[in-house]
Structures are given as C-alpha cells and as structure tokens.
Amino acid sequence: MILALAALLLIPLLTLGHPAKAEDRKEPPRQPNGLALTPPMGWNTWNKFACEINEEVIRKAADALVSSGMAAVGYKYVVIDDCWHGARDAHGDIQADPARFPSGIRALADYIHAKGLKFGIYSDAGRLTCAERPGSLGHEYQDAAQYAAWGVDYLKYDWCFTGTQDAKAAYTLMSDALRASGRDIVFSMCEWGTAKPWLWGRNVGNLWRSTWDIYDGWQGRQGNSLGVMDILDQMAELYPYAGPGHWNDPDMLEVGNGGMSDTEYRAHFSLWSVLAAPLIAGNDLTNMTPAIKAILTNTEVIAVDQDPLGAQGRRVAKQGDLEVWARPLASGDRAVVLLNRGTAPATITVNWADLGYPAKLPAKVRDLWLAKDQGTSKGSYTAEVAGHGVVMVTVRPAV
C-alpha cells in the first residue's frame, strides 16, 4: 500500500523530470528581416583592390556607379570589404584606419547616401578578419550598434579565425545584433559553404556564400580559389534553397578584371543571373571598356536575375561540355542559358520538355545578348554557341 502511494506520488515528478520531446525543444521560428527580396546588386572593393583601399577609391567607385549608368539599372550597394579597420578605441568601439579613411566612415556613408546609393561594410565572426584586422568576436552587439550609427545598410560577415565556433550560432548572434541595432541591414554571410548554410541560413542571413572564393578565370583552382565553371558546378544542386530574402551566393563578379575574355565574362554574368545570384561587381568602375560596361548593364539579363519569383535556375541538360541551364520566371516564361564549356564553337539545343513545357507548345524566343526576337519555335530551340560562351534566351509560350 505504502509502496503504491509512493509510486503514485512519484508519477508527476517523473513526468516533470522527463526530457521534453524534440519538437518541444525547437527554437521559435525566426522571422525574415524583409530585406533583399531580389538578389542584392552593387559593387565591392575586394576583387579588384583587395587591401589597397582608402576613402578616395570608394568615393570614386560610387561616382562611377552613378555616371556609368550602373546605379540606374539596379546596382546600389557600395561595399567596403576587408582592410578598412583601425584599432578598437578605449571603449572597445571599432575605428576605421585613420590613414586610409581620414574623414571617417560616417562621412563616407553620407557621401554614398547622398548619391542615392546604399553603403556596406565588412567584418568577421572570429578574432580577426581574413586579412588579420580586428574581428567582431565578443563585440557583436557593439559593432552592430556602431555600424547602425555610421549608416551601414549591408554587412558582409566573414569566417576566418573562428577556431571552434559554431557557424549557425555565430551568424545567428550577429543577425540578432543587427536586428537589435534598429537599422535595416542586409546580412551577407561569408562562411564559404563549409557548414552548409543553405540548410539553416534562411532567416538568419539574406545571402550566404556557398563556395570558396572566386578568382578571375574560367576553370580550375588557384590555391583555395575557384574558377567560374568550378563554382557553377557547386551551385548546381542548391536551387531548392534560394528564394526572396535568402540567396545562395556563388561570390562576387570578376567581369572586367582582365583574366577572362568578353565572351567568358558574358557567360559568367549570364550564369550568375540564371542562378539568382547577388550581382556584386568587383572591377575598377572608373576604367571600364564599353564591352564590359555593356555586359554589366544588360537590363534584360539583369531582369532575369531580379525576377520577383526568386527561383534559382538549375542544370536541365548536359552532354559532355554542352549544358542547358534554365530558370522559371514569375511570368511563366523560362530564362535559358545554353553553355558551351568546350573551346570550339558548338550547336546546343534546348528541348521544351526540359523546361517543363509540352513539346507542341509554340513559344517565342528572344536572345538577350543580341537583344533580338528569334521567332516562334515548337518543341525546341537550337543555337550556335561560341567556345567558353553562352547564348541566353527567354522562352515565352505563344498562347
């Protein structure tokens, strides 16, 4: 009897002490921050200038973004990458390098804002940035507040010197700090894909690097950096994870930096657009050839990148070096890139079946680089494609 009573009394204790079911332990869902509903567009210092930056370089880039017509077609973020930092002051507040930025960051942000542009900056989740400037570890809320006071609209947050830090926890911490700053700040997570940020980054950041750094070349590796084709291959299976406000980031553009031909740069730009990638130019905007400017300002290709449906394209056909990449658009049309990875010109066909269209559907084809309607096709469209080149078209059902 006594034993039975004791057992009865123990039941509630046992229930209380029982570990919660997995679903009870889930964090409340994070809400999107409402920013970057289409992939961010702008310019960043790193690919061309690396650490050779100062306020003059950045002001001139902002001037050129406007005078070149790039701002008018959507490039709005001017982002300072690594190497702007000085030391932390007596309060631990991060300061700009006074030799490179004698007027201070606030003045630079004001200059950029006065041009109708937005301003971005760079930090790192670890002890140091990749170029060994002070990182934000232990200063997350303090740095976010400083950025907000400076008028920062975009933060690229790198992953060097992070030791045993957990990526999701570290990026979530800075995401919360940015939200607490009271300013709308696009959060660009630069973790290189090592902890698969596409699986957890959706409401943490607005974009996440999915690969190692790009270099200005078509194919292959240079140290840890990858050519355009190598990055493309790593992007192929990530299409389910992109959408308005949360993008896979295959790294910034190399268009115009001199290591590739104009044909290759057109391919690079077309593929980034079909991938719904951020379009962050990385060349010297004050010294562009007309061909490079024409690539970066092709409004029909940019419209594919910025399509409001936000669906990332994928590889729908492959035969050796010849590939077809396609992306559904909000209108129901498809954007298609015929890619020739080989060096000799080749004929490539896109079949409607690979676009999810009935074979008998008549559809109007428009070539986005020729800016020319190519008539109505049924079932497929075939084009001659230069080596290391693309033909990019939209396919619109003619009903």
Q: Which residues are catalytic?
A: 158, 213
Residues touching ligand GLA, count (CB under 6 A): 9
Using CB under 6 A, which of 213, 216, 249, 284 touches ligand GLA? 213
Measured from the CB atom, is 278 or 389 closer to ligand GLA?
278
Compute CA distances 112 → 14, 77, 147, 157, whole Å.
Answer: 62, 9, 15, 21
Using CB under 6 A, which of 131, 195, 309, 322 touches ligand GLA? 131
305 binds ligand GLA (CB under 6 A): no
216 binds ligand GLA (CB under 6 A): no
The binding track of 217-236 with respect to ligand GLA, each residue x by CB under 6 A or -, is --------------------
Distance CA 342, CA 326 (A): 19
Least Cβ distance, residue 52 to ligand GLA (angstroms): 12
Half-sphere exposure of 110 (CA within 13 A, CB side): 6
The binding track of 241-280 with respect to ligand GLA, each residue x by CB under 6 A or -, is ----------------------------------------
Residue environment code for 348-368, b if the CB has 16+ CB neighbours within 10 A, otherwise e: bebebebbebeeeeebbbbbb
Residue span binding ligand GLA (CB under 6 A) among the ranges 129-137, 167-175, 230-238, 272-280 = 129-137
Measured from the CB atom, is 121 or 316 closer to ligand GLA?
121
Half-sphere exposure of 390 (CA within 13 A, CB side): 30
Least Cβ distance, residue 155 to ligand GLA (angstroms): 12
Using CB under 6 A, which of 65, 79, 82, 137 touches ligand GLA? 82
Distance CA 125, CA 188 (A): 12
Q: Write out the two tokens for 127.
A: 């002890």
Helix or strand holding residue 300 (H, E): helix 299-305
Residue span binding ligand GLA (CB under 6 A) among the ranges 23-31, 128-136, 326-334, 336-344 = 128-136
Which position's Cβ is nearest ligand GLA? 130
Measured from the CB atom, is 81 or 230 closer to ligand GLA?
81
64 binds ligand GLA (CB under 6 A): no
Measured from the CB atom, is 231 or 393 closer to ligand GLA?
231
Least Cβ distance, residue 231 to ligand GLA (angstroms): 12
143 binds ligand GLA (CB under 6 A): no
Phi and psi for 206 in degrees, rounded to 5?
Answer: -95, -20
Distance CA 238, CA 328 (A): 15
Q: Are 81 and 130 in contact, with CB atoms under 8 Å apart? A: no
81 binds ligand GLA (CB under 6 A): yes
Residues 6 or more apart from 247 whose CB is under 8 A from it? Answer: 36, 39, 40, 206, 207, 208, 276, 277, 278, 310, 312
Report DSSP letters for 60-124, one per residue: HHHHHHHHTSTGGGT--EEE--SS-EEEE-TTS-EEE-TTT-TT-HHHHHHHHHHTT-EEEEEEE
- In whole angstroms, how large is the CA radius of gyration of the chain? 24
130 binds ligand GLA (CB under 6 A): yes
Measured from the CB atom, is 282 or 310 closer to ligand GLA?
282
Biggest alpha carbon–alpha carbon distance for the chain: 94
Residues 6 or more apart from 202 whose CB is under 8 A from it? Answer: 32, 241, 246
Distance CA 371, CA 8 (A): 80
Least Cβ distance, residue 163 to ligand GLA (angstroms): 16
Least Cβ distance, residue 372 to ligand GLA (angstroms): 36
- Residues 153-172, interacting with ligand GLA (CB under 6 A): 158
190 binds ligand GLA (CB under 6 A): yes
Distance CA 81, CA 45 (A): 6
Using CB under 6 A, which of 36, 40, 45, 46 touches ligand GLA? 46
- What residues make contact with ligand GLA under the rule CB under 6 A? 46, 81-82, 129-131, 158, 190, 213
